[in-house]
Structures are given as structure tokens and as C-alpha cells.
């Protein structure tokens, strides 16, 4: 019994050592870059498997999900992206305007100011639901994926271009408009 266990342990160790030596000599040839869309991508596994990251990068598929970007000029501040987000990583604060403030690139009328439009990429699970529900297609996924940082607060991206003073001015305009509207009703 002891001899049988010893022989089995020895053969297992030899198999592991042979596999290690095979990988050692196989790593002398570098694995070439392959496009992930090729049908033989997973068949070509010879050579070094690790990509030397800053110098080499794997090709990105066209339908990949990475860093979110917002074209704030096209945003109508509908809040659909924040409602669709399953992890609540999108924070939007809208300020109403008494009149239309412009148009987006697709012709949609803008009636709300984006006082705050923040995306916390530390919380984001890259599902892409926010990009699907956006009626003006202002929120998109880019091909940027390396956002390494030591502070989590660096991963909160603000897309609103309004200053605090401008937000206060716009809120005051809306309050004045509402007051004038109520006064006109009472007359």
C-alpha cells in the first residue's frame, strides 16, 4: 500500500515537472497578436500568453463595453439613464427652464439644464443599459478601459459644465417664472 502511494506520488510529480518544463521552453517564442474576432483565436495558444501591458495591448472588439462618455450638449436631461442603471452610479440633477434652451444634434428640444451629471465608474458594472435607453444617444461607451487610480473619488466623472453660480441663477429664473405664473392665475 505504501509503495503504491509512493509510486503514484512520484509519477504525479514527474507529470507536473514535465508540464512546467514544456511551458518553460514554449515561452521562448512570443505569442503573436491576434484579432479576437478571428475564428481561430482560441486555437493559437503557443508561446507567452501574458501580454506585456503598457507596451502591448490586446485588440479590442468593436462591441466591447468600457468607459462611459457623455456628450452633454446632446443631453436632454431625461434621467432615463439613471433610472435604467442597476447600481445607481449615475447622478443627475436637472434645473427647469422657462423656455427652450436649444436643440440637440438630432433635433430634440432641450428644456432642462444639467446642473449635475456625474458617473461613478467605480460602481459601474459596464452593462450598457444606460446607452440603450438614451433617446438622443448622448451617452456612449468608449474604447478607454485603463483608469487605474489609488483614489476612488478619481473615478467619479462629472460631465455638467455649469458652475454653482450659474445653477443658482437658473434656479432663481425658474422660481421667478413660477411666481409670475401663479400671480397671473390669481388675477
- Taking Cα atoms as reference points, which of 43, 24, 41 lies closest to residue 33? 41
Among 11-20, 44-53, 126-135, 164-173, where is mean pLDDT lowest?
44-53
Which of 36-40, 115-119, 147-151 holds the top average pLDDT?
115-119
Q: Which fold has domain 68-163?
A: Alpha-Beta Plaits (3.30.70)
pTM summary value: 0.68
Query: Which letter does DSSP use for residue 166 in this model?
Result: H
- Cell of residue 71, nine digits: 456628450
Q: What pLDDT does 123 receive?
A: 92
Query: Which letter does DSSP use for residue 30 in this model?
Result: B
Q: What pLDDT does 119 receive?
A: 95
Evaluate whether 26 touches 47 at the Cβ level (below 8 Å): yes
Q: Would you list the domain boundaries of the chain? A: 1-55, 68-163
Amino acid at each position: 500500500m505504501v509503495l503504491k502511494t509512493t509510486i503514484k506520488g512520484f509519477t504525479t510529480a514527474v507529470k507536473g515537472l514535465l508540464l512546467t518544463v514544456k511551458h518553460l521552453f514554449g515561452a521562448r517564442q512570443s505569442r503573436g497578436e491576434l484579432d479576437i474576432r478571428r475564428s481561430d483565436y482560441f486555437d493559437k495558444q503557443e508561446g507567452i500568453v501574458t501580454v506585456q501591458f503598457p507596451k502591448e495591448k490586446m485588440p479590442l472588439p468593436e462591441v466591447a463595453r468600457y468607459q462611459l462618455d457623455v456628450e452633454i450638449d446632446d443631453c436632454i436631461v431625461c434621467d432615463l439613464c439613471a433610472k435604467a442603471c442597476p447600481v445607481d452610479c449615475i447622478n443627475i440633477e436637472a434645473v427647469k427652464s422657462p423656455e427652450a434652451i436649444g436643440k440637440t444634434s438630432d433635433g430634440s428640444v432641450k428644456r432642462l439644464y444639467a446642473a449635475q451629471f456625474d458617473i461613478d465608474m467605480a460602481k459601474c458594472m459596464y452593462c450598457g443599459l444606460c446607452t440603450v435607453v438614451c433617446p438622443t444617444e448622448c451617452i456612449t461607451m468608449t474604447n478607454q478601459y485603463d483608469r487605474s487610480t489609488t483614489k476612488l473619488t478619481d473615478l467619479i466623472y462629472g460631465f455638467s459644465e455649469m458652475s454653482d453660480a450659474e445653477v443658482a441663477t437658473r434656479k432663481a429664473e425658474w422660481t421667478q417664472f413660477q411666481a409670475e405664473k401663479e400671480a397671473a392665475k390669481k388675477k
